[in-house]
Amino acid sequence: MKALSSLDLHCMVGELKPLEGSRVDNIYQKGKEEFLFQLHKSNEGKKLLRVLVGKALFLASHKEEMETLSGFCMLLRKHLGNATLASLSQIEPERIIKIVFEAKDSSYALYIEFLGKGNVIFSDGKGIIIDALTHHEFRDRTIFPKQKYAHPTMQYNAFSLEADYLSSLLSSTAKESLVKCLAIDLGLGGLYAEEVCARAKMDKNKRPAELTAKEQSALLKAVKQLISQQPRPVVLMKNDAVSDVFPFPLETIGGDYQVFPSLSEALEHYCAHARDAPTTSYDAKVAELKRIIEQQEKNITLLEAEEQEQRRKADAIYANYAQISTILDELKAISRKHSWQDIQKKTKGHAIIKGVNPREKSIVLDIAENKSAQ
């Protein structure tokens, strides 16, 4: 599954805004890659905010099995239990969601980053980091407790883009094509950058600095239309399988679109049915543990059967101990004067001795109703 783009998050925030004013009932964790915030909204009841670290967040229709309880999750429970979700917003144009919580005596902020592998950072009301899911030191910022939280900043913001800033971007970019400039410098990502070029009816490979004033105007209009487009969430179907999720159908992406009432429902459907939906390390560990348990259960069954067999042999030996002891004493005395090959020949047809192994110097006795003791 691809990570949500800045535009995807922009649309999702609009959908999640009604969560503001909810109370935190509980927080669950699944592995290291998934969290579930169980909220309660007055007159609406339970709400489930599912966070797939580095990938997506959305309202879930049901609570999946959540077994992991890390120290970080316990920390969130401790500080955010019964707190009010005061605000939920995107730090535009970054792929970062900021959720502010108001507790009884304090304010807290949760920063959910969709950059790289993703991260969840918990801070106090002043932005001082209390803890993070992953500690990291970047060239321009540090994610460690007691440090001031700082997020990356882009020079250009697609959500507040104006003509002069667009002109500045196009004339100064080092990118060789328009589509790369829009995707990277403006942060639209590849798919939406191509969509803007198609809607503006421009060659995506044209050099940015070569755009005329008229073309720049058409490009700005296409960007603004894309940003402000009314959501019509869809799941892209290819070869009868889910392929991708978008807040609305794209002109540049062919295939069958399945429409959903909300982006959350589209994402939940995708996560449940996508062939390439990610298997988290938690899921992989669970599968491996299940395999180990199944193998151990088979081994236990075999060992129990072996135990019963050995117990029967032991009982037979105990019941016939005197007879076995006499035979062993006789064989010990005979072996001093004769070879084991001779003993093997002389014991053929013996009522109790049914086999002799000269190499191992062992015998097989038939005792206790044909139960063999070796």
Q: Give yes or no for a contact between 59 and 264, defined as CB atoms under 8 angstroms apart.
A: yes
For the chain, what is the radius of gyration of the CA atoms? 36
Q: Which amino acid is at 233?
A: P
- Which residues are within 8 A (CB) of 52 and not within 5 positions of it... i.e. 6 or more apart? 1, 33, 34, 271, 278
Q: What own/partner pairs with CB < 8 Å and gap ≥ 24 does 163-166 have?
A: 163/216, 163/217, 163/220, 166/216, 166/219, 166/220, 166/223
Spell out the per-residue pLDDT of the chain, length 374, in tens: 678 999 999 999 999 999 999 999 999 998 888 999 999 999 999 999 999 999 999 999 988 877 767 899 999 999 999 999 999 999 989 999 999 999 988 999 999 999 989 999 999 999 999 999 999 998 889 999 999 999 988 889 999 999 999 999 999 999 999 999 999 999 999 999 999 999 999 999 999 999 999 999 999 999 999 999 999 999 999 888 888 999 999 999 888 999 999 999 999 999 888 754 444 454 555 556 656 776 676 677 777 777 777 887 787 787 787 888 888 888 888 888 888 888 888 788 787 887 888 887 888 888 755 444 44
CA 137 to chain centre: 23
- Distance in angstroms (rounded) separating the CA atoms of residues 18 and 264: 13
Structure pTM?
0.71
Please report which helix (H) or strand (E) contains residue 81, including its range.
Answer: none
What do you get for the CA distance between the two ends of the chain, in Å? 62
Position 276 scores a pLDDT of 47
What domains lie within the chain, and their CATH numbers? 6-143 (2.30.310.10), 158-260 (1.10.8.50), 283-373 (no CATH)
Position 278 scores a pLDDT of 47
Cα dihedral sign for 216, 217, 220, 225?
A: negative
